[in-house]
Structure 1
Amino acid sequence: MRSLYFTVQLFLRYPPPSLPTPTTSPKRTLSFRSLRRSISAVTATTTATMDQNLIKKTSSPAEHIAGPWYSVPELRLRDHHFTVPLDYSLSQSPKISVFAREAVSVGKEDQALPYLLYLQGGPGFESPRPTESSGWLSKACEEHRVILLDQRGTGLSTPLTTSSMLQFKSPQELVDYLKYFRADNIVNDAEFIRKHLVPDAAPWKLLGQSFGGFCGVTYLSFAPQGLKQVFLTGGIPPIKDGCTAETVYRACIDPIVLQNEKYYKRYPQDIQIIRDVVIHLAESEGGGVPLPSGGVLTPRGLQLLGLTGLGASTGFERLHYLFERVWDPVIVPGSKKQISYYFLNSFERWLSFDTNPLYALLHESIYCQGAASQWAAHRVRLEHESKLDAVKAAKENRPVLLTGEMVFPWMFDEIHALRPFKEAANLLAEKKDWPPLYNKTALNNNKVPVAAAVYYEDMFVNFNVAIETSKEIRGIRLWVTNEYMHSGLRDGATHVLDHLMGLLNGKKPLF
């Protein structure tokens, strides 16, 4: 049966701010002589930049150091390092480094292109590393200088890794540091970069994916003067006071159940396979089997595979092919049945907590303003344990439900990379004095053109919650579709970005 896809465009509350006039840039073809002159100019500029950087490094710490241009197929890239305050409220704050990569299409390095800031999903994930011009980036780089920001604590921005965080002497000291790594300070970093990078500190455009979209709404709340246009993809957050994490997780239960049902309908043979794995884990010594890193795989840990397996395009396929190789073959008669090393190793790589621990540590706090999360996902799960108890489901011959985007306290016992941060995670869950992330008055009076893709079956950012918030953002234009999942920006090539830009540049009708 063919899937029925639909698209809905919504225009909320007020007429949009004035639409910009579309502009196009002429394509350039470089002759060999022009190319040689360009290479000479780049070499001279690089040498001058290196000399200038050397001078800066030998005196006081430079606030901005730009590297030379380099290439990947069809793109020119340049690295930028910024020295910024850890705490912007202090005149004498400790400093951290923030990294951003500039990307343009080949031959457009010297053109006066508008700037587009890209904010990655997360929290705790670095910007993509371009290997070629493809997908949405190819479209964006044709018309903009794209700034791929590694949000503080990720990538090359003073990264907070499982090893670097061990430098803190106590869990409380770590928490006192981590409190500066939410959307409010990511926006502060973005404004710092804009003022140092964009000519005349002009406003720039913003593209925010998932958590990057949450940061975009924070930007609209507190620094709208820095924004020219905003594009949100699967990234409209709840903005109520207090901590909305519990509301978010409660709203996500039904979509999680729906995605499980769709998965098992596509791969009915996996119902029994996953039941058998759950029973095997439950009956193993200690209630689980050792993982290669030193952690342990338990039935509830197995359910974490739903995080990306159920919520992203091709996730169903990846999940199915993973379970194809869950068991080792019995080569020697009489040998015990066991889960394969291939599966156990793949399970750990699937979750990324060893490389991006900030996701687990800060995940619930991104929803908090003046209130504690108190392990909201864990509390919501307990309310639905009759559905979500894996062992009970397997023994009752029911399909085992995999879970979605939730972080639980027991993960800091079972996942080896997270164990050192268990006490810090508990302190973060009880922390109440989180500063505000959104300003409803500013959003109600918004003058920045905003377009947002809202995915009807998004398992990560609930559709109803997104619609409720969108009513508070003056002039926002929504594109509602079930053609894509949460990963639509990545999966839709240029289509998603094209559609959103069309909503703001006059190419799409208002109604």
Structure 2
Amino acid sequence: MLCSEALRSGSRVSNKYTFSANAGASSHPAAGKVARLGLGCRRAGSAAASVGLSASSFFSGGFASSAANDYNAMGSRYKAGAFGDVDSRTSSTPSVGAWFYVPELAVRDIYFNVPLDYSSPDGPFITIFVREVVAVGKEEHHQPYLLYLQGGPGFECGRPAEASGWMKKACEEYRVVLLDQRGTGLSTPLTASTLSQFTSAQQQASYLQHFRADNIVRDAEYVRSRLLPPGERWSILGQSYGGFCAVTYLSIAPGGLRLVLLTGGLPPLGEGCTADIVYRECFKRVALQNAKFYYRFPQDEELVRSIVLHLDAEGGVTLPSGGTLTPRVFQLLGLTGLGSAGGFERLHYLLERAWDPRLVPDAKRRLSHTFLRMVEVWLLDFDTNPLYALLHESIYCQGAASNWAAQRVREELGDQFDAVKVAKGGGKVLFTGEMIFPWMFDELNALKPLKEVAEILASKEDWPPLYNLETLARNTVPVAAAVYYEDMYVSFKLSDASAAKIRGIRTWVTNEYMHSGIREDGPRILDHLFGLLKGKFLLR
């Protein structure tokens, strides 16, 4: 049944366009060019006020009032007028670097100081880093702004090396702003090393609680108010988790937005913690992706079984950096190998280097150094970007704890993802997908120092809200979303349900692309999404 369903990927589900069922007509973005006035030449906060934003409530964590759109629905602990006068460190002109150049692009670096917690404007403070990117020759041209929100959580924006893909297309019309989300890249990056400066796991958890989408949006609004001319709004392109952040933006600060483009990034919009629902859908899709992989590469079934049985018999194998490769760590390769374009091929070519050749007939069979080193490279993100593991389940939480939802759902499935039992029974060993399990903080060297804080975050119940369903139901910001039918990371079923809750959203449902569509064919995807908002694809 799974294999026959997997073959359906050759059919064409693409070019299906939908409109939010509860929606009224969404307004179109203004076509005119904006006046660029430069940085630091006006009172901070004027831009926020001119688009109907009450800075005092927004920066305290308040959500938009659907009745009055005054952002005071949840009250405010932030004093009126404080947005522009938080502290000399935050009200001063941002640090702006000189333009530098890569092929066809002009780039400059900009740093801001912002509060860690916007309800405590007197500090402590963190650094927020953005890169402004324009086509060469347009450094001083008047163009609208497009903010790119990276997938994650816990990853910085890619570094532009040339004009290509979606970036080249976007720079035809926009000044692109690449935001390193707080805790990543050059925005006060958080690693096991930096977090070790705290004296307890509880202190670490208290710090980390401020690194979710709500504060990423507050950082973005802070940047917008200082980077753009007074009263000017910007547009957003949100990929994956960046799309989740964009929907939070629509919930708490829609007045700052001209239009929103989402690619594989419609979040689940349920109450409480939706992680259990997410992972039940995710495990289904991961099982299907495994079936597709083995259909493509049936010779790998026995190879994967042999690797699992060897790891089990050896009690794990030491990796070059000192960690241990266990059967369930081996299964984590599905995170990268099953869900993006070219992933099946990369996984297959990784597996083919699994074993050392036997130069002596009675030599003990060993996994090759090349294979073990490549496995480490595939798992490197947990070392360099631990926020991905620490905060992953929290992105689904509003007023409830996740309590290791992925592990609990895995256990609901019995032995389906038990690699050792399946291998001993001669079955197909299934790789796992985008899930974080508690044992990873025991078995992955990079995560071991963070085990205690991970437990605290997993049991945290008082996560603030990320979405306002009333505001989304009254949305007037033009929104277009590419929804990938066979997305392994963001469920099509849940995305479709969420789209129905956002007024005016236009969705393009396609199976031409995996979750990595923006990387595969960025210019075409942007053309489609802009076409939905500019009348190229009309309602029918």
Q: Same fold (TM over 0.5)?
A: yes
- Partner of residue 454, structure 2: 425
Moved over 6 A (4+): none
Paired residues of 1:19 and 1:504 also in contact (CA < 8 A):
yes
Give 1:78's aligned residue: 108
Report the alpha carbon displacement of residue 384 of structure 1 after superposing the two structures with TM.
1.0
Query: What is the CA–CA distance in structure 2 between the aligned matches of 1:22 and 1:5, rounded to whole Å?
Result: 34
Cα distance in 2 between the residues matched to 1:495 and 1:15: 27
1:435-475 alpha-carbon deviations (Å, 9 max, x no partner): 00000000000000000000001110101111111111000
Q: CA deviation at 1:23?
A: 6.8
SS of residue in 2 equivalent to 1:492: helix
Residue number in structure 2 paired with 1:34: none
The one-letter code matched in structure 2 to 1:107 is G
> Does 1:5 find its partner at 2:15?
no
Cα displacement (A) at 1:18 = 2.3
Q: Is the 8 A contact 1:63 1:83 kept in 2?
A: no
C-alpha displacement of 1:281 = 0.3
Percent of aligned positions with the same letter in both sequences?
59
Secondary structure class of the residue paired with 2:384? coil
Q: CA RMSD in A?
A: 1.7
Task: Report the equivalent of 1:332.
Answer: 360
Q: Distance in 2 between matches of 1:370 and 1:492?
A: 38
Structure 2 distance, partners of 1:415, 1:78, is: 37
Change (3 A) 1:297 1:129: same
Give the 5 Å matches for 1:321-470: 321-351=349-379, 352-470=381-499
Residue 25 of structure 2 corresponds to 16
Instruction: Tell me the equivalent position of 1:290.
Output: 318
CA drift at 1:22: 5.3
SS of residue in 2 equivalent to 1:354: helix
Conservation of the 8 A alpha-carbon contact between 2:89 and 2:113: no
CA distance in 1, matches of 2:141, 2:33: 12
Deviations 1:18-53 (A, max 9, x none): 22465799xxxxxxxxxxxxxxxxxxx9xxxxxxxx
3-state DSSP of counterpart to 2:171: helix
Structure with more of its chain in helix, by fraction: 1
Distance in 2 of aligned mates of 1:460 and 1:73: 33
Letter of the 1:5 counterpart: R
2:100·2:107 contact (CA, 8 Å) conserved in 1? yes
Match of 2:288 in 1: 258
CA apart distance, 1:201: 3.9
Which blocks of at least 5 consecutive residues in structure 1 are unaligned?
Answer: 26-44, 46-58
Deviations 1:152-210 (A, max 9, x none): 00000000012111111111100000000000000000000000001114110000000
Structure 2 counterparts to residues 264-303 of structure 1, below 5 A: 264-284=294-314, 287-303=315-331
Whether the aligned pair in 2 keeps the contact of 1:455 and 1:485 (CA below 8 Å) is: yes
Q: Which residue type is aligned with residue 17 of structure 1? A: S
Cα distance, 1:312–1:274 mapped onto 2, change above 3 Å: same
TM-score (norm 1): 0.91
In structure 2, distance between residues paired with 1:63 and 1:190: 16
Tell me the equivalent position of 1:304: 332
Q: Secondary structure at the match of 1:399?
A: coil
Q: Which moved more, 1:443-452 or 1:253-262?
A: 253-262
Does the CA contact (< 8 Å) of 1:456 and 1:480 recur in 2?
Answer: yes
Look up the match of 2:520.
491
Q: Distance in 1 between matches of 2:135 and 2:460?
A: 45
Answer yes or no: is the 8 Å Cα contact 1:16–1:449 preserved in 2: no
Report how many aligned residue pairs link the two structures.
Answer: 478
Q: Paired residue for 2:204, among 160, 168, 174?
A: 174
Give the direction of change, closer, same or farther, for the CA distance of 1:441–1:395 in structure 2 (3 Å limit).
same
User: Is contact 2:393–2:458 with CA below 8 Å preserved after alignment?
Assistant: yes
- Counterpart of 1:163 (choices 171, 175, 193) is 193
Give me the TM-score of the superposition, normalised by structure 2. 0.86
Question: Aligned letter for 2:444?
Answer: I
Q: Is the 8 A contact 1:136 1:490 kept in 2?
A: yes
In 2, the alpha carbon distance for the partners of 1:259 and 1:355 equals: 27
Preserved CA contact (<8 Å) 2:180 2:187: yes
State whether residues 404 and 438 of structure 2, in contact with CA within 8 Å, keep that contact through their aligned partners in structure 1. Answer: yes
Letter in 2 for 1:19: H
- Show CA shifts across 1:213-258 (max 9, x none): 0000000000000110000000001121211111100111211111
Q: Which moved more, 1:1-10 or 1:492-501?
A: 1-10
